[in-house]
A = this chain, B = another copy of it.
């Protein structure tokens, strides 16, 4: 179901986790290009809070895999300045929540520098944001803030859902001359999948149909792709054929893939982990509602996002605060039966 790797046959693939796939991408990048440096808190000897960088510091040394002080604003800014002058920094936020400290350097500087300077400079910085809930780490360590970044011209924003895409999107981000924000999901880090050896890229601006269907379109991102695929199985048992689209890119959003699907299924539900209000589902809904696909809609456009609260600590509450398979299934079914 995933798009064909650029340069490798099936047998050249190995099974690895999402975290390992990212590490593989970082390893390739560090090996290929001396301008690549990794920066972040505890990414060296500790191997990263989620063991994504692992032992890379042993292979490339502390000058290439740099532990920064706990200084998110300054650290991100150093990455921005380095990118603008010739390095290819990949900056890891330990948790995406801490990016709130660095919004200025990301959104006032990196995103705008090229434009403000009339195109005279590029800022090829890559930033990685471990995001999402499910770890019991509560309100300040569990957010899904990708919608904020999607609102900012000058950035590109992606959300890989599989090991394959995680690796391919990181390498594509590195090839890209502009700032790319990668929202990874903490719960996916351990998820396994087939990943081609060596270098390949996944386009930064394309969604992908993960399951073809005729009755309803489910647009999902990150971990919600998996939950939506599970829900699609349940729906199938009820005679509902759901098409599941993995959004992948938040900025730009691949309108065409979504619209073509909706023209076919006539129904749309958006599933995402960020807070529902002003989350990415709002944009997807609005994109369709303003498009020619509007006339093909047979039912309201539904959104399933996080509840209107910070992420709670209690594990049951935490689960209740974000969409689960059952919610997706129920809502999709109700939409198809127009029982809302």
A residues bordering B, Cβ < 8 Å?
Answer: 73, 97-98, 100-101, 103-104, 107-108, 111-112, 115-116, 138-140, 147-148, 150-154, 251, 253, 274-275, 277-283, 285-286, 288-292, 294-295, 297, 299-303, 307-310, 312
Could you list 8 examples of A-B contacts with CB < 8 Å?
Answer: A97-B108, A108-B140, A115-B312, A116-B138, A148-B151, A151-B275, A151-B279, A278-B278
Question: Are B108 and A278 in contact, with the CB atoms below 8 A?
Answer: no
Chain B residues whose CB sits within 8 angstroms of the CB of A148 once the complex forms: 148, 151
Chain B residues whose CB sits within 8 angstroms of the CB of A285 once the complex forms: 282, 285-286, 289-290
Question: Are A147 and B139 in contact, with the CB atoms below 8 A?
Answer: no
Smallest Cβ distance from A159 to chain B, in angstroms?
Answer: 14
Question: Are B100 and A278 in contact, with the CB atoms below 8 A?
Answer: no
Question: Are B277 and A302 in contact, with the CB atoms below 8 A?
Answer: no
Question: Are A310 and B116 in contact, with the CB atoms below 8 A?
Answer: yes
Smallest Cβ distance from A26 to chain B, in angstroms?
Answer: 27
Question: Are A153 and B309 in contact, with the CB atoms below 8 A?
Answer: yes
Give bound CA distance, A111 to B308, whole Å: 12
Question: Are B278 and A310 in contact, with the CB atoms below 8 A?
Answer: no
Give bound CA distance, A253 to B307, whole Å: 15
Give bound CA distance, A312 to B111, whole Å: 13
Closest B residue to A335 using CB positions: B290
Give bound CA distance, A278 to B149, whole Å: 9
With contacts A280-B278, A282-B285, A302-B290 known, is A112 near B100, CB below 8 A? Answer: no
Chain B residues whose CB sits within 8 angstroms of the CB of A301 once the complex forms: 286, 289-290, 294
Question: Are A139 and B151 in contact, with the CB atoms below 8 A?
Answer: no
Closest B residue to A151 using CB positions: B278
